[in-house]
């Protein structure tokens, strides 16, 4: 099989995998009254991590910063998050989960972990796949 064919098959597999992950989280996303984009943003808001700026979140979601503003506003309306100044630079805006947001995020993660398609892989295989996907994503910029 040529490199071109292998690349095409990898893309096909990733598209299928993406659909599988979206499908398995759909019930939680729907129950929370969220869109997929709102759920993706909720996923990125790790309460244990340093707050990310709205601009950094836009980069992670590969969307325009104005989109993050709209998505953030929707999460605020739902009582799941609120915008706040960055603790080290008050000029920078961050998005912080509320208690309800932390609970919604925990339900989303729990469902994903419980139904993860990666459970067929051994721990070592999961770590290897993680490294390989990280390498691909890092090279994409």
Q: Count structural domains, the chain.
A: 1
Domain for residue 93, yes or no?
yes
Written as tens digits, the pLDDT of the chain (141 aa) is: 888 899 999 999 999 998 888 888 888 889 889 999 999 999 999 999 988 899 999 998 989 988 999 999 999 999 999 999 988 888 889 999 999 999 999 999 998 888 888 989 999 999 999 999 999 988 876
Q: What angle do CA 130, 131, 135 make, to 5 degrees?
A: 115
pLDDT on residue 141: 65
Determine the pLDDT at residue 47: 93
Domain that holds residue 11: 3-116
How many other C-beta atoms can be found within 10 angstroms of the C-beta atom of residue 68? 23
In a domain, 135, yes or no: no
Q: Looking at the domain assignment, is residue 18 inside a domain?
A: yes
Which residues, 6 or more positions from 136, have their beta carbon under 8 angstroms from its beta carbon?
none
Residue 11 in any domain: the answer is yes
pTM over 0.85: no
141 occurs within a structural domain: no
- Assigned domain for 129 exists: no
Q: Is residue 137 part of a domain?
A: no
User: Strand, coil or helix: what is 42?
Assistant: helix
Task: Output the domain CATH number for residue 67.
Answer: 1.10.10.10
For residue 22, what pLDDT is reported? 83
CB distance 72 to 95 below 8 Å: yes
Assigned domain for 71 exists: yes
């Amino acid at each position: 099989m040529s490199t071109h064919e292998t690349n095409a098959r990898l893309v096909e597999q990733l598209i299928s995998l993406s659909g599988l992950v979206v499908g398995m989280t759909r019930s939680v996303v729907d129950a929370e009254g969220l869109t997929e984009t709102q759920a993706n943003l909720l996923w990125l808001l790790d309460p244990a991590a340093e707050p990310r700026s709205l601009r950094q979140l836009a980069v992670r979601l590969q969307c325009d910063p104005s989109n993050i503003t709209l998505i953030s506003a929707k999460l605020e309306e739902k009582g799941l998050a609120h915008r706040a100044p960055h603790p080290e630079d008050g000029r920078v805006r961050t998005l912080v989960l509320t208690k309800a947001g932390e609970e919604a995020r925990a339900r989303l993660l729990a469902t994903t972990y419980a139904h993860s398609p990666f459970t067929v892989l051994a721990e070592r295989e999961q770590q290897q796949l993680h490294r390989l996907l990280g390498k691909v994503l890092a090279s994409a910029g």
